[in-house]
Structure 1
């Protein structure tokens, strides 16, 4: 087992994001929070001091929101004109993990996205 020099944030949509998605994508009117959070995204971030959990989100929230909206196949024309930290905080909750372990014996690869 290998320990990665990263922390991890698992992101979950809130009811507020779900309502917005249903507004801009009416064909998703049957979605629930369980549906939208069925396969949450995990983001690796820098290791943070234990007293400062989540500060990295202030650096990455725009990138995260854009990724999540792309993942949901929301047309960019429908995205909010301004992506703020307040918007991010109202649309998502997260679970923070300090210890990230790689159990696989396969080589870890990364891809630009």
Structure 2
């Protein structure tokens, strides 16, 4: 087991609508909820963060902006296309949050951060 927890973000209807309405280049672009659930980002966090819903909520209150920006940037890298006022309430309206406390590394090798 790895000494981390996992948080996964699941897109809700307002986020899906934003993705489909925002694309400045392709008016035929249409993506659905099923498409978005195929491959989701996994955020590794301290194992203490996923010690119940209350702990996850505290972490989200402190980190929702970074996660929100990461998700928006995954679709459109131009921040002028993003909603200008992003709040915790908006985050909760746009995304469901799953959390998992058991992470097992089946590879056993060194974990490498590609961004470093």
TM-score > 0.5 by shorter chain: yes
Q: Give the 5 Å matches for 1:52-67.
A: 52-55=54-57, 56-67=59-70
Report the counterpart of residue 34 of structure 2 in structure 1: 34
How many aligned positions are there? 111
State the alpha-carbon separation in 2 of the partners of residues 106 and 71 from structure 1: 28
Structure 2 unaligned residues grouped into runs of 5+: none
Return closer, same or farther for 1:43/1:80 CA change in 2, 3 Å cut-off.
same
Tell whether the 8 Å contact from 1:53 to 1:96 is kept in structure 2 after alignment: no
Choose 18-27 or 5-14, whichever is displaced more.
Answer: 18-27
Residue ranges of structure 1 left out of the alignment (5+ in a row): none
1:14 offset after TM fit, Å? 0.5
Of 83-92 and 26-35, deviating more is: 26-35
Does structure 2 retain, via aligned residues, the 8 Å contact 1:10–1:41? yes
RMSD of aligned alpha carbons: 2.0
